[in-house]
Amino acid sequence: MSDTGYWFLALALGLVVAVVAVVLLETFLRQVHRIERGAGLVWTAGKQVARNTSTTWLLGETSLRLGEFIDEAGRHEQLLRGEPVHPSEPRGSQDRSTTPTPAEGRGR
């Protein structure tokens, strides 16, 4: 093989290597974009979960208020039936000290 033949062989091999490198880099770039889209979806879902659960610390207070509401509804039912109503301490007022405050609830 002559010197010119070796140059053409070297140029052809260089071209093949360049084409393979471009294909691999393009594949890598597509994977990076796919991962970025997936990470964006995870980030969006995480923000939605945080927004939906930001007030869960209020559930204890809601439960207490519901107990008071049920007691009051029972007294109204007795009154409407004409039965004597005996006022009693609402269920929810006994253990208010265990209900977290807004500052305590957010830390959980």
pLDDT in tens, 38-70: 999 999 999 999 999 888 888 888 888 999 999
Q: Both 46 and 87 in a single domain?
A: no
Domains: count for the chain: 2
Q: Both 66 and 95 in a single domain?
A: yes
Q: Do 67 and 91 contact (CB within 8 A), yes or no?
A: yes
What does the pLDDT read at residue 90?
A: 52
pLDDT in tens, 6-37: 999 999 999 999 999 999 999 999 999 999 99
What is the 3-state secondary structure of the chain? CCHHHHHHHHHHHHHHHHHHHHHHHHHHHHHHHHHHHHHHHHHHHHHHHHHHCCCHHHHHHHHHHHHHHHHHHHHHHHHHHCCCCCCCCCHHHCCHHHCCCHHHHHCC
Domain hosting 1: range is 1-54
